[in-house]
Amino acid sequence: MFNVKRKPSVLGGTMIIAGTAIGAGMLALPTISAGMWIWYSLGLLVLTWFMMLLSSQALLEVNLYYHPGSSFHTLVLDNLGKFWNLVNGLSVAFVLYILIYAYVSGGGSMVVHISLVAFDYEPPKLLASLLFAILLSGCVWWSTYLVDRFSVVMIGGMALTFVFAMSGMLSEMKMSYLLDLNHDNNPYGIFVFVAFSTYLTSFCFHASVPSLVKYFGKEPKKINKCLVYGTLIAFVAYVIWNIACDGNIERSDFKNVIAAGGNVRHLVEAASLNLNGAFLLRMLEGFAFLAVSTSFLGAGLGLFDYMADLCGFDDSRLGRTKTLLVAFVPPIVAGMIYPDGFLLAIGWAGLAATIWSVIIPALLLRASRISRKELRQCTSNLALEHNFRVKGGSWTIYSLLIFGCVVGVCHILFVFNWLPMYK
């Protein structure tokens, strides 16, 4: 018997990136895209994919100057100082809190829908959201191992239901819907700007970059392949999802979904009006429910560990209970007060994510290159260099900063009703 150390695989790293990116956020894409419809939505997907891949590569370039295992926190503190480290920490915490709220809202709506279909009983939204949140937050409280086991099963189920649901929806889609032949005289391009932050949220995986550096070591070619392949898998999944929804739900029917708050249940109900076959509909419902559940567990575990570290709670049952209360009570209470905020919450998450997944990586890259240039003038130490550099030179930095600022400004304008929303 030989004790052979297994080398990390590009396939495994690719699945980490794809699994982190793909989640319940994609369920908001068709609804927020209803105004601009299919061609503009595909264009925005390409733009967002490219910019988010570029920002992750910027983060990789900076991360490679540090020992494997160095965290996002270390990179920001070392290169940008305490102020930006505080901004980064607050942004991450806000994103996690608002995502948990979104998943409580979306999960509760799916519990209502499934109960209505299975038992012909519609429970109160508050009760459904509370039940969903308590069960899944209880898993996080119990142990990381339980979250791991549940996530594996749910992700497997999500992949299977997605394949079945999409194959059925694509086979039944109507070209008149997809091409919007029954045009309702609303323009398309004017509605692009309200979707920026939601699309950005669907490509957020940047916290995984330091994890890949720790996993692979300083092997930038392999890590970059994981970033490219993983984001491409997410991109293809989103393209298929948008086409399937736009081909089965007439553009004007999205007005009712948006008026009802854009929750997951309302999207599934709109799709069910044009789908034939109970099996196909059950697969769509199963995919939506599992997507929300796996996203809750992933974001919930991240928030749980973040708050435990921030507050200094230990890993005893009492310590974990304190962490549970701090991490989950605020978003659950918010979900009780405003149960139909899924679409709005995903957009707010995108606004905060813009800071730590686009703007901060650009600033990190700029600061790192300046400091390395200064060090090269003082020493001939070859360890200051590695063989990975993001393409584009300074244009990469400025493009990311402009993109991040545009996304942030667009969302703020939307919040104040200064941007048009299709309704």
Quick one: which of 363, 419, 421, 371 has its CA closest to 394? 363
What is the model's pTM?
0.85
Mean pLDDT over 332-343 rounds to 79
Q: Is residue 4 part of a domain?
A: no
3 in a domain, yes or no? no
DSSP string, 253-308: GHHHHHHTT--HHHHHHHHHTT---HHHHHHHHHHHHHHHHHHHHHHHHHHHHHHH
pLDDT tens digits, residue range 166-182? 888 888 888 989 998 88
Alpha carbons 219 and 274: distance in angstroms, whole number: 49
Name the pLDDT band for 385 (thresholds 50, 70, 90): low
Both tokens of residue 408?
């942030």
How far apart are alpha carbons 413 and 409 in whole angstroms? 6
Phi, psi of 105, deg, nearest 5: -65, -50
Residue 41 scores a pLDDT above 60: yes
Q: Which domain holds residue 105?
A: 10-415
Poorest-pLDDT segment among 3-7, 83-87, 261-265: 3-7
Q: 379 falls in which pLDDT band (50, 70, 90)?
A: low
Average pLDDT over all residues of the chain? 84
Tokens of 421: 């929303």
Q: State the DSSP string of 187-229.
A: -SGGGSGGGHHHHHHTT--TTHHHHHHHHH-S-HHHHHHHHHH
| pLDDT, tens digit, 9 for 90 and up, residues 191-226 | 999 999 889 988 888 877 887 888 888 888 899 999
pLDDT band at 376 (very low <50, low <70, confident <90, very high): low
Q: 380 pLDDT exceeds 60?
A: no
The DSSP result for 27-96, as a single string, is: GGHHHHTTTTHHHHHHHHHHHHHHHHHHHHHHHHHHHTTS-TT--HHHHHHHHHHHHHHHHHHHHHHHHH
Kindly state whether residue 404 falls inside one of the protein's structural domains. Answer: yes
Greatest mean pLDDT among 68-82, 188-202, 278-292, 334-348: 188-202
Residue 423 in any domain: the answer is no
* Measured distance CA(252)–CA(422) in Å, rounded: 9
Asked whether 342 and 100 are in contact (CB, 8 A), the reply is: no
- When pLDDT is cut at 50, 70 and 90, the band that residue 238 belongs to is very high
Residue 2 in domain: no
- Tokens coding 95: 């994103």
Give the mean pLDDT of 59-88: 86
Using CA atoms, how far apart are residues 325 and 304, in angstroms rounded to an integer? Answer: 10
Q: How far apart are CA 201 and CA 354, in angstroms?
A: 8
Structure confidence at residue 140 as a pLDDT band (50, 70, 90): confident
Residue 170 covered by a domain:
yes
Q: Pull the structure tokens for residue 215.
A: 């996993």
Residue 248 lies in a domain: yes
84 DSSP assignment: H
1 belongs to a structural domain: no
Q: State how many domains the chain has.
A: 1
Check which CATH number belongs to the domain holding 410 and give it: 1.20.1740.10
Cα–Cα distance, 410 to 406 (Å, whole number): 6
